[in-house]
Every structure is written in structure tokens, then in C-alpha cells.
Chains A and B, each alone.
Chain A
Amino acid sequence: MSVSTLSAPAALVGSFTPDVFAAHLASLPPSLPGWWVARKRAAYARFASLPMPTRTDEMWRFSSIGTLTLDGFTLAAAAAAGPLAPSGIPEAARLVFANGRLVSRELLSTDLIARGVIVDTLHHALVHHDALVREHLLAQPLKLGSPKFAALHEAFLADGAFIYVPRDVQVDLPIGVCSHAIGATAAVFPHTLVVLAENARATVIEYFGSDDDTSAQFAAGANDLYAGHGAQLTYIGKQDWSHRALSIQSNSTVVRRDARVQSLNLHLGARQARHESLSRLAAPGAFSEMLALTVAEAGQEFDQRTLQIHEAPNTKSDLLYKNALRGTARTIFSGLIVVDPDAQKTDAYQSNRNLMLSDEAEACSLPGLEIQANDVRCTHGATSSRIDPEQEFYLQSRGIAKVQADELLTFGFFEEVLARLIDPDLHEALRLLIQTKFTK
């Protein structure tokens, strides 16, 4: 065997070699359905054959390609539960994962269990709710540029969260899912699948965190959110991986007739974090509100790619992504609104706003529209602004030091997004979560 045939696949798989994959498969419970194991094998083959993104890929325009790597990571079972994300938010139930294994949980009330609500591991759901999982798990098209990382996620997905709320049932308190990466070089593949049946209501809060802020970890995560006819789902994701982690997250949302999904992603951690978010407005009356807040510090890169697909008439999507950039931070926003030919009366918004807190920071924006219907209302825009010196002086003239004044102004900038939250109790809790980044 020549050196080149050996080295080519090594470059394509990095730490995730066929041996590592075989060990991963062997570690899975034997009860998992055959279709899932077959899908994982196929996913691994795709992962191993697909090239890494290159500088010329339009979907990776402005992204730092040279710092993407598959090397130096390990798959290891976590020895301990690790630190839990203290949210201060009362929850209906909670699942805590460490390196893809369930390490602790808070159960639903017996009343909600009796009404058919499920908050369980994907493993358990694959065995007991096979059809439901098969219909929704990683079922959406990959249109945002990471087929290789999506395949890697599917191949190595160990366990994740499965949340199901049956018809007409409302879960008042948020359901919490925590995914921890434990270990200096840990690779994790978190997944959360949420299915809301007709007229169901729920809020899901997902936390991503590391055991140590200096761990050079790797995360390839994904989630699937499905809101059935008339359902209302609020999803909050707080990404706070180690500041040396590489994270690639792919989220898919499907909104059915008259349903509403509100999602808010807080991006705080990782050295390089790519976040892909797809919303499909699949039936008339569907509404997807896509919100994101990013606090980007020196040396961090946040790369956000979004796609709003209007597949049916009278659908609405509203995207507002706000980034605050400090030091030498970089952010990239690339968003596309697609309106299918018969999606008349579409109402679609897309806005990316950047607050530049330093002269060295860099924000790139690529808003886009692709409209094939003729009776629609679509707007998009991107702005970058600096702290207004008169506002800063006003705060300083009240005794507030410049650093705190800029922090207050940043919170003021974020408030427009937080104020959109339907649940006012979440509002203050999220402010506190963001504040932790400032006081670090």
C-alpha cells in the first residue's frame, strides 16, 4: 500500500478513524434499531469521503478555514457529571449529558407523564418510539454547507434528548437539556429532538458547556425542532463551550400550519463556532422567529448561516441576529430568505446588527433573498455601529465608569432581542446568563 492512499483518508477523518468509529458502534446498546445503526454506518462513509470545506466554498465565505481541524480529539466516556449549568430557571424536567451519555436527570411530574409528555434519551426513544424518531431525526435537508460535519455528527451521535408533547398539552415550565464536554480534548456530538403535536406548547432550554475553559474540545451538534399544527415552541440555546473549543452546530426547524416557533441562540463560548439554522415554513400560517445574541471576545470567531424557506402561502419568518464584538473578535452572518413559487403573501424579515466595541473587531454580513413568488413582503438588512460617544458620556456623567457604561449600552443593544421573548420570566434569567460573560 502506498503512502498516499494511507494519508489521504487520514486527512479526511483526522481523529475520527475507522477504528474509533468501530469502537463507538461497539459501545452502543444492542437494543438500538437496525435502521439507525445502518444510517450511522452510511453517515460515517459519507464523512470519510467528503472533503473539508475550502476557501472557495461559497457557503464558507469569510470563514476561517485554516483553523478547522479534525485532529487532536478523543472520544471518551466522562468520569464525572461535571459542573451543571446553574440557570436559576425553574424547570419541568432536565436531562444532563456528559460526553454524550446521560449522567443525571430530573423527571417530569407524574401528571405530565400521565398526559403523555416524554422527556427522555434518544436511545430510549429509538427503542420505544421508533416511528416518531425515524420521522424527525436528522430528516431535514442539509443546505447550509456542512454535510461533512453533519455526517460526522450522525455517525458519532452517542445519545441525546428526545422531547415529545402530545396534542393539546401545554408544559408550562421550560424543559432543560445540558450537554457537557468533559476532558482536555473531548469530542462531543449533542443532539436534541423536539416534537410538538397539534396545539401543544413547550419551552426547551439547551445549555452547552465545558468542564474547563481552556480545553481544546470539539463539538459537532445538531437539533431538530418540529412544531405540528397550531403548536407553539420556544427554544433557547446557550452555547458556552470552552474558549479553545471548535463548535459546529446545525439546527433545523419545521413549522406546520398556524404553528409558531421562537428560537433564541446565545453564543458566548468556543474559539470558533459555526451555527447553521434552517427554518422551513411548511404550511399556511406558520411563523418562525429566529433570534440570536452573540458576545464575541478577542480571538473568537462566530460564523452564523441561516436559511428561511417559505414553502406555503401566508407564512411569516422574522430573523434578528445581534452581535457585540470586542477585541479582535470576528463574526460572519450569511442569511438567505427563499420564497417558493406558490408561497404568496409571505412576510419575511432578516436583520443582522453588529455593535463594534473595538477597532480591531471585524463583522461580515451577507444578507440574501431568493424570491419566486410575486406577492410577498421581504426585507433584509445589515448594519454595523459603534458605541455612541454622547451616550457613553451621558452614562459616565452619572458616575458610571467607561467599562460599565459600554456594558450597559451593550445590554441596551441586546434588549430589543430579549424583549421579543414571549415568556417574561425568561427575559431576566437570560440577561443574567449573558452577564456571566462580561464578569468573567
Chain B
Amino acid sequence: MSQLDIIDLHVSIGEKPIVKGLTLTIHSGEVHAIMGPNGTGKSTLSKAIAGHPDYGITSGDVLINGASILSQEADERARAGIFLAFQYPSEIPGVSIANFLRAAQQARMAEGEELDASAYYKRLYSKMDLLKIDRKFTSRSVNDGFSGGEKKRCEILQMAMLEPKFALMDETDSGLDIDALRIVADGVNTMRGPNLGVLLITHYQRLLDYIVPDHVHVMYDGRIVKSGDKSLALELEAKGYDWIKKELAASAA
């Protein structure tokens, strides 16, 4: 059992505050969805936790099992158990998926320890079979010329191989048709279980039809303004984000 604590987190891009005091605890086995209108800081939250150098954390803390990860570089945070599934994954020409994942696995091993290549490929192929990904995929360059669906599938494959403690899924549904969405959701559902905590970031409720969350949070202007169970997502879908804005305005008045 692991626990990810996000405590009163403030994040700025340059001088501009984006996340303004966000607190959330995720336990292994739980799926949390963060919903909210565009520009409210959802993606910033996930990139800041993953350690993107352009996102400055001005105050607050992020802890894995009680230990702060904020002094760590992005790669150390990843090895500590954080996985960011990107909204727009980078294309890396000339680096095959097989070599990329191999380097990521090697990075998790002790100094001087060599990855067992045949065991690695065996594991890679079994994960690909599970996710119904063609084996030829591994020789292609990472995301290079991939369709939106292929990119997201590649993210899911990486997640399956790296077995993070916590997955931050940034708008995983964006740009996907319904078939691709189903494949991605199947992948996440396959990995869902007592060893994985998930933070799903999404603008639309559509994804939540396929990955049913345990908790739903509404984010607005850099904060969580409302939390509930999966019915909150349905309510949002029915009433729209204006409902939240009006509620906030009323309570402020």
C-alpha cells in the first residue's frame, strides 16, 4: 500500500500562479478523476508533480509514503513511482520503443547490474499481448509519426512495463476516437488494482464511462472546489461547468 499526498500545492509558470493551493491524497487501489474547464490548471498539476523544469512549485509539498519528492529530478521521481501519461507525448525519432523501454528498465537497476535481455523481451511481449499491441510496434521509433491512438497506446504500454505506484493520466482521452478510447481504458482497467493509484485528468465525462472512478474532484481556478463519487461526474455532464462557477459565485457572495 502506498500513499501520494499533494499538500496545499502552489505552482507557477514563470511569474503566473496556476495551481493555487491544491490538496489531495491518493491511496493505492484508488482511481481519482480530476475534471474541470480548460485553463484551470489540471495539466500543470500533473507536470509539476512529474518534475517538469518549467513548472515552479512555489509552496506546498508532494509526498510518496511520507517522503517529499520535490527536491528530486524528474527521473528520480519516476523511479520513486510516479508515471505521467502525457496528453501530447513527444516524438523521439531514431529511438526504438524496445531500446527506450530497455533504458528505462536499466535505469531502475542497481549500479553495475545488467538487464537480462531475454527476460526483458519476454516480459515486454507478454505486456503487449495483454494490451493487444502488435509486436512489430517495438521496432518503431518512439511516437514518431504515430496516430493519436498509437501514441496513447504507447503510453499505456510504457505504464504497463514500468509498473508505477501512481499514474497521472493527463487528458488521456483527448484526440481519441471511441475505439482508441476503449483500448486505452481497457489497458488502464487491466492494470487497476491494489498496487496502483490513478489520477485521471479529463475535461469530458466520456472517459469515465470506461474507467469508473472511485472519487471525482472538480478543479477550478487552480483549486479543488468540489469532491464526490462518480455521480458528480454525471451531474457535471448534465449541468455543465457553469453550474460550478455559479455555485462558487454564490458562496463567495
Binding site for B on A (CB under 8 A): 388-391, 393-402, 404-405, 408-409, 411-416, 419
Q: Which residue of A lies closest to B85 (CB)?
A: A397
What distance in Å separates the Cβ of B195 from its nearest Cβ neighbour in chain A?
17
Contact across chains for B92 and A399 when beta carbons are under 8 A apart: no
B41-58 interface mask toward A, CB cutoff 8 Å, 1 = contact, 0 = none? 000000000111100000
Highest count of chain B CB atoms <10 Å: which of A395, A404, A414, A415: A395
B94 at interface by CB-CB < 8 Å = yes
B99: chain A residues within 8 A (beta carbon): 408, 411
Contact across chains for A396 and B90 when beta carbons are under 8 A apart: no
- Report, nearest first, the 5 A-B pairs whose CB atoms are least far apart: A415-B94, A412-B94, A399-B78, A396-B74, A394-B90
B158 at interface by CB-CB < 8 Å = yes
Highest count of chain A CB atoms <10 Å: which of B53, B75, B107: B75
Measured in the bound complex, the distance between the Cα atoms of B103 and A400 in whole Å is: 7
Measured in the bound complex, the distance between the Cα atoms of B99 and A401 in whole Å is: 15
A413: chain B residues within 8 A (beta carbon): 94
Measured in the bound complex, the distance between the Cα atoms of B53 and A400 in whole Å is: 15
B100 at interface by CB-CB < 8 Å = yes
A409: chain B residues within 8 A (beta carbon): 92, 95
Q: Which residue of B lies closest to A413 (CB)?
A: B94
B194 at interface by CB-CB < 8 Å = no
B39 at interface by CB-CB < 8 Å = no
Show 6 A/B contacts (Cβ-Cβ < 8 Å), sorted by A: A390-B90, A393-B52, A397-B83, A399-B162, A412-B92, A415-B94
A393: chain B residues within 8 A (beta carbon): 52-53, 74, 90
Contact across chains for B75 and A396 when beta carbons are under 8 A apart: yes
B89 at interface by CB-CB < 8 Å = yes
B91-123 interface mask toward A, CB cutoff 8 Å, 1 = contact, 0 = none? 111110001110110011000000000000000
Measured in the bound complex, the distance between the Cα atoms of B95 and A122 in whole Å is: 42
Q: Which residue of B lies closest to A399 (CB)?
A: B78
Q: Which residue of A lies closest to B105 (CB)?
A: A399
B229 at interface by CB-CB < 8 Å = no
A396: chain B residues within 8 A (beta carbon): 51, 73-75, 78
Contact across chains for B78 and A398 when beta carbons are under 8 A apart: yes
Contact across chains for A397 and B74 when beta carbons are under 8 A apart: yes
Contact across chains for A408 and B103 when beta carbons are under 8 A apart: yes
Given contacts A401-B75, A412-B94, A415-B93, contact A394 B103 (CB under 8 A): no
Q: Which residue of A lies closest to B91 (CB)?
A: A391
What distance in Å separates the Cβ of B27 from its nearest Cβ neighbour in chain A?
22
Measured in the bound complex, the distance between the Cα atoms of B92 and A400 in whole Å is: 14
B79 at interface by CB-CB < 8 Å = yes
What distance in Å separates the Cβ of A264 from its nearest Cβ neighbour in chain B?
16
B241 at interface by CB-CB < 8 Å = no
Measured in the bound complex, the distance between the Cα atoms of B99 and A419 in whole Å is: 15
* Residue in contact with A399 in the complex, picked from B52, B86, B107, B141, CB distance below 8 Å: B107
B69 at interface by CB-CB < 8 Å = no
What distance in Å separates the Cβ of B137 from its nearest Cβ neighbour in chain A?
17
Given contacts A402-B75, A408-B95, A409-B95, contact A395 B51 (CB under 8 A): no
B contact face: mostly helix, strand, loop, or mixed: mixed
List which B175-193 residues lie within 8 A (CB) of chain A. none
A contact face: mostly helix, strand, loop, or mixed: helix
A398: chain B residues within 8 A (beta carbon): 75, 78, 100-101, 104, 107, 158, 162
Measured in the bound complex, the distance between the Cα atoms of B76 and A405 in whole Å is: 13
Contact across chains for A394 and B93 when beta carbons are under 8 A apart: no
What distance in Å separates the Cβ of B14 from its nearest Cβ neighbour in chain A?
15
Measured in the bound complex, the distance between the Cα atoms of B108 and A21 in whole Å is: 58
List which B100-158 residues lie within 8 A (CB) of chain A. 100-101, 103-104, 107-108, 141, 158
Measured in the bound complex, the distance between the Cα atoms of B164 and A397 in whole Å is: 11
Measured in the bound complex, the distance between the Cα atoms of B52 and A413 in whole Å is: 23
Contact across chains for A408 and B162 when beta carbons are under 8 A apart: no
Contact across chains for B94 and A416 when beta carbons are under 8 A apart: yes
Contact across chains for B86 and A394 when beta carbons are under 8 A apart: yes
Q: Which residue of A lies closest to B93 (CB)?
A: A412
What distance in Å separates the Cβ of A376 from its nearest Cβ neighbour in chain B?
30
Measured in the bound complex, the distance between the Cα atoms of B146 and A220 in whole Å is: 47
Contact across chains for A415 and B75 when beta carbons are under 8 A apart: no
Contact across chains for B92 and A402 when beta carbons are under 8 A apart: no
Measured in the bound complex, the distance between the Cα atoms of B73 and A399 in whole Å is: 9
Contact across chains for A397 and B78 when beta carbons are under 8 A apart: yes
B108: chain A residues within 8 A (beta carbon): 399
Contact across chains for A414 and B104 when beta carbons are under 8 A apart: no
Contact across chains for B84 and A412 when beta carbons are under 8 A apart: no
Given pairs A394-B89, A396-B75, 8 additional interface contacts (CB within 8 A)? A394-B86, A398-B100, A399-B104, A401-B75, A411-B94, A412-B93, A414-B94, A415-B95
B101: chain A residues within 8 A (beta carbon): 398
B51: chain A residues within 8 A (beta carbon): 396-397
Measured in the bound complex, the distance between the Cα atoms of B94 and A391 in whole Å is: 12
What distance in Å separates the Cβ of A425 from its nearest Cβ neighbour in chain B?
15
What distance in Å separates the Cβ of A389 from its nearest Cβ neighbour in chain B?
7
A397: chain B residues within 8 A (beta carbon): 50-51, 74-75, 78, 83-84, 86
Measured in the bound complex, the distance between the Cα atoms of B141 and A411 in whole Å is: 12
What distance in Å separates the Cβ of A140 from its nearest Cβ neighbour in chain B?
34
Contact across chains for A400 and B94 when beta carbons are under 8 A apart: no
Measured in the bound complex, the distance between the Cα atoms of B50 and A266 in whole Å is: 38
A395: chain B residues within 8 A (beta carbon): 92, 100, 103
A414: chain B residues within 8 A (beta carbon): 94
Q: Which residue of A lies closest to B161 (CB)?
A: A398
Q: Which residue of A lies closest to B52 (CB)?
A: A393
B92: chain A residues within 8 A (beta carbon): 391, 394-395, 408-409, 412
Measured in the bound complex, the distance between the Cα atoms of B53 and A397 in whole Å is: 11
What distance in Å separates the Cβ of A304 from its nearest Cβ neighbour in chain B?
21
B94: chain A residues within 8 A (beta carbon): 411-416, 419
B79: chain A residues within 8 A (beta carbon): 399
A411: chain B residues within 8 A (beta carbon): 94-95, 99
A390: chain B residues within 8 A (beta carbon): 90
